[in-house]
Amino acid sequence: MSDIRIVPLGAGQDVGRSCILVSMGGKNIMFDCGMHMGYNDERRFPDFTYITDTGQTLHDYINCVILSHFHLDHCGALPYFTEMCGYNGPIYMTHPTKAICPVLLEDFRRVCVDKKGEQNFFTSQMIKDCMRKVITVNLHQCVKVDDQLEIKAYYAGHVLGAAMFHVRVGHQSVVYTGDYNMTPDRHLGSAWIDRCRPDLLITESTYATTIRDSKRCRERDFLKKLHECLERDGKVLIPVFALGRAQELCILLESYWERMNLKYPIYFSTGLTEKANHYYKLFISWTNQKIKNTFIHRNMFDFKHIKAFDRSYIDQPGPMIVFATPGMLHAGLSLQIFKKWAEDEKNMLIMPGYCVPGTIGHKVLSGTKKIEIDKKLVNIRLSVQYMSFSAHADAKGIMQLIQLAEPKNVLLVHGEAAKMEFLRQKINEEFGIHCYMPANGETVAIATTPSISVNMSSLLFKRALEESIGAPPSKRLCSLPNSAVVDGLLVMKNEVIEVSLLTHKEVSDEIGLTRHKLKFSQTLTLDGHFLPDSNILELLTTSINKLVPDSKVLQTKEGYGLELSGTSVTLSIAQFLPQPLVNLTWELQDDHIGSILVMNLVRTIPRALIMT
Amino acid sequence: MDDDDDWLISSLERYEQLFMYDLSTPVHLMYLASDKGVWVYGQTLANKRELSLLTLPTKITNKEITGGRDFKISAGAVIPFSINCIQEMSNQQAVLCNADKRSLHWWREDERSPDLLVEIASSIVPPLPHHKECETARSQCITHIDYWKSESNDQHLLLGSNSPPDDGHVQIYDVVSHSVSWETVLDKTKLHDALYFGSPHQIVLCSGNYGEILVVDTREPFSATPTRCSMDAETHDDYALSCTSNIIGTLSDAGSLRLYDSRSYEKPFYCCTMPTTFHSSQYLTLTISPYNDRLLGLHPGIIIYDTTSMPPKAIFTHDGHEKEGAESVKVHGHIWHQSIPRLLISAGSDGGLHMWQYNE
């Protein structure tokens, strides 16, 4: 047996800087290369010293890098890894991820370098050079990285272009989920995977100890608070990233405004609005079925009630809603609007996602009432609401995915350090499989059992099925039970790695060998004397039925013998009375029946009928 | 918006707050431990049984800006037997009544793995003397439980059961000594429910075909005809019982509702037949709001009634479970939050767990 070894370099018992190193079949695969948004020092990157300490270069050690989606905690360290650490091998991701990653990376780079003054950060050119190395994959497309390593992407939901990856090396396989969700939302579908039965499923566990409120109730809360603020003449600011939950909320508001015939103005930042719209049109196949169906008639991302924002609107009186970037209020238009609106208690700030510590968004969510922005003290009097719309699987969703994929083991990443024992117990109880949860730098070795696919001849299958279920196969009864016994020959051909299970006849025909039969015979003397009218065949039949209960004993056509139906065992009477002699013959495959009869037949003849 | 969203839109006016959760197993029992936690017992058709202690969403409990809307699984366990009822005691410890035999089981958080619940003790409860040979029989299992902890830290459990054919059996069980300190038999009378009533020595029972109310002082000899009792005019099969310090209420499966003043309960001060019937007596429940004892929660269906008028006025119906799963969903129970007005938690056979605060 060979092991699969897994080492989290990031997101082991933590959320942030996702980076999982998997070694199997002599290959090393890196899943994700993210950045931890809570740190500003080297802790923001995954710990690559685990690889460099082996003495090998990153390029020699890693066979490929696979990125699940464009969130920075999954791709934020990629330019650093390729352009500053020197990895030069293949990088795989989906088309939307490749298109959107550089946008977020560039935005993040600008904040770190231009706003925070960081040095030794990757440059814009490095981002471009990094993305040139990317190889895109389609969903369900089997991509061969080399002769042994192949990968396949599955739909993950979560954000546009997010994928789960099934990786196979020889007989070993692993599924890495990245971030996913099992319930569809308004613009994306839910994650799905086939029953691929990997040796290991590496799944995120962000909400593993949580039972999430339904999406509809969260939407309801959002709409209720919005509407209440607008009705009292307030303005609502919603800081968002250009791509992601913003589109989800826009579709929700568009539908609600249309349904309720509301006239309050809704605005979205210019520039990135067009870019986001462009990406969703380009990758419409990645959205859910409803969006795709509607797209034939109209683009659901061309909103009727949501207009482009102009900075001159900031000072306009009256209620309005504005979606503005960036999402954590750390710069740009959203911060500018916030400065203007913060001191009016009629207004509202809705934060729809996580804010990194140190940002203004994070401070506001912590309850700070006064903030210095551009050397001016701003009093925060507006109402602050936090509404998480992030799309992750909760405890039930994780169990659903395990049920779909049927892995032999589960490994949890991207979650809390403590409080996983209950989930482990449930997984073990429900599926009878082990569940691991390593910390960063901790190695988990999972033993795998090689599995060999065998092609079974249809003739052999049909025979085995009839024998085990006692009926001809039909559409309903066409799977062999585990208890079925199949008598055949295993043939492995030299030219190709193909193993077949065939009948004896099929094998001898295929290889041109003459089949030989090995036949045994034994003459039995029935001791004692029998009455003149004793029916010897009847006595023998009674005995045989006792010794071989499942047998069907028939008289031969000639009338002087017996045969066991479905076997090669025959009995013929060589001499009848007074001393019956019975010739028993059988072939090799029925040797077990022949032996039973040889040893026991004589003594089990009913004695009452023997003349003493 | 979809037609599915019709209900969502209408809920904006009907509910002040609404939370809906999807548990992995159908909920059979629920117990509000405190204002911050709820015990939930779920069981699937394949007899997978889970016990969880859930922490209420922080949005409800602490009003922080970043308060979440999700339940946190504080601790849980897969348990090896079915249970009839749960009762929380102190220190996040719960006692479970086994549905397969006459025993009690104490479960609490494991010290080494705080998110796991483990059994720390169990006890066989003695049955009626002449039923000793059936002490493990399912028919003698404890079906009702209540808990009292006195100021001097004496802890008692009030246990109710029915022995075949229909003898009600009530016991007071001392938790420290694990022994029965008091018991009585309701001869040929079915016990519908038993609750502590204001003190460790006073209990109220609802029994018999007429839903007889019996208030019993356990310090005095119990007689078949107690000093105060009251009953329905007609016979019914099942009754639900609820009480506060001021009111005792009974509801029959045929919809007969009676409310009694706790100080004088020879005669109900409120008596009517509800406009709905309760064919599914298995889930027959009556609850009284903790801050307005003229507001009742009736179940199945979870309808809130105001009994200040005659007939009672249905002021709110929670149809969220039916919306989610249509007719096949059976609602297994509902509980009132102890300090937030009009906030209830309900659970259904599809695993749906709802927390909702209706608008006045």
Tens of pLDDT, residue by residue over B280-319, are 556 688 999 988 888 888 776 688 999 998 888 889 988 7
Q: Do A388 and B18 touch (CB under 8 A)?
A: no
Judged by a CB distance cut-off of 8 A, whether residue A429 touches chain B is yes
Alpha helices in A283-413 (DSSP H): 289-295, 332-341, 360-365, 395-405
Amino acid (one-letter) located at B228: R
Query: Residue A390 — very low, low, confident or very high, per pLDDT cuts 50/70/90?
Result: confident
* E strand intervals along A477-590: 489-493, 498-502, 519-525, 529-530, 553-555, 561-564, 570-575, 581-587
The reply to whether residue B115 touches residue A224, judged by beta carbons under 8 angstroms, is no
Rounded to whole angstroms, the Cα distance separating A88 from A333 reads: 38
Q: Which residue did the predictor score with more confidence, A612 or B24?
A: B24
Higher pLDDT pick, A82 / A509: A82
Lowest pLDDT segment from A37-51, A182-196, B90-104, B346-360: A37-51
pLDDT category of residue A264 using cuts at 50, 70 and 90: very high
Residue B92 exposed, middle or buried by CB count within 10 Å (0-12, 13-18, 19+): middle
Is the per-residue pLDDT at A608 higher than 50?
A: no
Of residues B17, B69, B75, nearest to A422 (C-beta): B75
Provide the mean pLDDT of chain A.
Answer: 86
Q: Which letter does DSSP use for residue A425 in this model?
A: H
For residue A388, the chain B residues in CB contact (below 8 A) are: 68-69
Task: For chain B, give the mean pLDDT.
Answer: 84
Q: Is A260 on the interface with B (CB under 8 A)?
A: yes
pLDDT in tens, B257-278: 999 998 887 888 999 988 765 5
Express each pLDDT in A462-486 by its tens digit: 888 877 776 666 665 566 776 777 8
pLDDT the model gives residue A270: 67
Record: contact B78-A429, CB cut-off 8 A: yes
CB-based contact (8 Å) between B76 and chain A? yes
- Rounded CA gap, A72 and A97, in Å? 11
| Closest listed residue to residue B86, CA positions, set B162, B138, B145 | B145
Does residue A152 carry a pLDDT above 60? yes
The reply to whether residue A217 touches residue B12, judged by beta carbons under 8 angstroms, is no
- Return the HEC string of B185-202: EECCCCEEEEEEEEECCE
B203 has pLDDT over 60: yes
B64 part of contact set with chain A, CB < 8 Å:
yes
CATH 3.60.15.10 residue window(s) in chain A? 2-211+394-448
Q: How confident is the model at residue A299 (pLDDT cuts 50, 70, 90)?
A: low
Contact A211 B71 (CB under 8 A): yes
Contact B70 A210 (CB under 8 A): yes
Mutate which: B66, B71, B111, B118, vs A, most A CBs within 10 A: B66
Q: What is the CATH number of domain A215-386?
A: 3.40.50.10890
* A268 or B130, greater pLDDT: A268
Helices (H), A514-565: 536-547
Query: Which chain B residues touch A394 with a CB distance below 8 Å?
Result: 70
Of B22 and A69, the one with more pLDDT: A69
Joined tokens for residue A231: 């009705």
Q: How far apart are CA A341 and CA A378, in angstroms?
A: 10
Q: What's the confidence (pLDDT) of residue A610?
A: 42
Instruction: Please state the rounded mean pLDDT for residues B343-354.
Output: 88
Q: Which residue has the tokens 């054919």?
A: B165
Task: Please list, residue by residue across A578-608, b when 16 or more beta carbons sit within 10 angstroms of its beta carbon and e when fewer do.
Answer: eebebebbbeeebeebbeebeeebeeebeee
- Residue B113's contacts (CB-CB under 8 Å, 6 or more residues apart) are A421
* Nearest of B8, B29, B148 to residue B97 by alpha carbon: B29
pLDDT at A226: 93
Residues paired with residue A436 on neighbouring β-strands, in sequence order:
A411
> How confident is residue A192, by pLDDT bands cut at 50, 70 and 90?
very high
Please give the Cα distance from A150 to A480 (Å, whole number).
Answer: 31
- Chains A and B form CB pairs within 8 A to the count of 106
Taking the C-alpha atoms of residue A16 and residue A72, their distance in angstroms, rounded to an integer, is 9
pLDDT tens-digit readout, A332-372 = 889 999 999 999 999 999 998 777 777 788 889 888 999 98
Q: Count the Cβ atoms, other than its own, within 10 Å of residue A45.
A: 22
Looking at residue A525, its pLDDT comes to 84
Q: What average pLDDT does this structure show over B137-155? A: 84
Structure confidence at residue B342 (pLDDT): 93
CB proximity B75 to A under 8 Å: yes
Over residues A198-243, the pLDDT tens digits come to 999 999 988 888 888 998 899 999 999 999 999 999 999 999 876 7
- Delimiting residues of CATH 3.30.310 domain(s) in chain A: 519-604
Evaluate whether A223 touches A255 at the Cβ level (below 8 Å): no
CA distance B16 to B338: 17
Interface contact B77-A425, CB threshold 8 A: yes
Q: Name the residue among B65, B70, B116 with its Cβ closest to that of A367.
A: B65
Nearest alpha carbon to residue B170 among B199, B192, B200: B192
Average pLDDT over residues A23-41: 89
Q: What's the pLDDT tens digit per position in A11-22?
A: 787 777 899 999
Concerning whether A538 is annotated as a catalytic residue, the answer is no
Residue A558 structure tokens: 């000639």
- In this prediction, residues B126-150 reach a mean pLDDT of 73
Cα separations (Å) of A600 from A582, A583, A592, A603? 13, 14, 12, 6
For B64-88, the pLDDT digits (tens) are 677 789 998 999 999 999 999 999 9
> How much is the pLDDT for B227?
47
CATH 3.40.50.10890 domain residues, chain A:
215-386
| Residue A422 scores a pLDDT above 60 | yes
Residue B135 scores a pLDDT above 50: no
Question: B74-85 burial by CB neighbour count: b if 16+ within 10 A, else e?
Answer: bbbbbbeebbbb
State the nearest Cα–Cα gap between A113 and chain B, in angstroms.
Answer: 29
Amino acid at B312: P
Q: What is the pLDDT of residue A261?
A: 92
Residue B32: strand pairing partners: B38
Q: What's the predicted TM-score (pTM) here?
A: 0.80
Residues of A in contact with B21 (CB under 8 A): 211-214
Decide if pLDDT at A416 tops 90: no
Please provide the distance, in angstroms rounded to a whole number, between the alpha carbons at the two ends of chain A.
66
Q: Is B30 on the interface with A (CB under 8 A)?
A: no
In this structure, is the dihedral angle defined by the CA atoms of residues B109, B111, B116 and B118, taken in order, positive or negative? negative
Our CA-based measurement puts residue B353 at a distance from the nearest CA of chain A, in whole angstroms, of: 10
Q: Which residues of A touch B52 (CB under 8 A)?
A: 422
Q: Which two tokens stand for residue B338?
A: 């102890």
The active-site residue, picked from A83, A106, A118, A204, is A204
In this prediction, the answer to ipTM > 0.90 reads no
Instruction: Provide the CATH number for the domain formed by A2-211+394-448 in this structure.
Output: 3.60.15.10
User: Tell me, which fold does domain A519-604 have in CATH?
Assistant: TATA-Binding Protein (3.30.310)
- Cβ atoms of A47 and A441 closer than 8 Å: yes
At A99, give phi and psi (nearest 5°). -70, -35
Look-up of token digits 């083991």: A409
> Residue A379: enclosing H or E segment and its boundaries?
strand A376-379
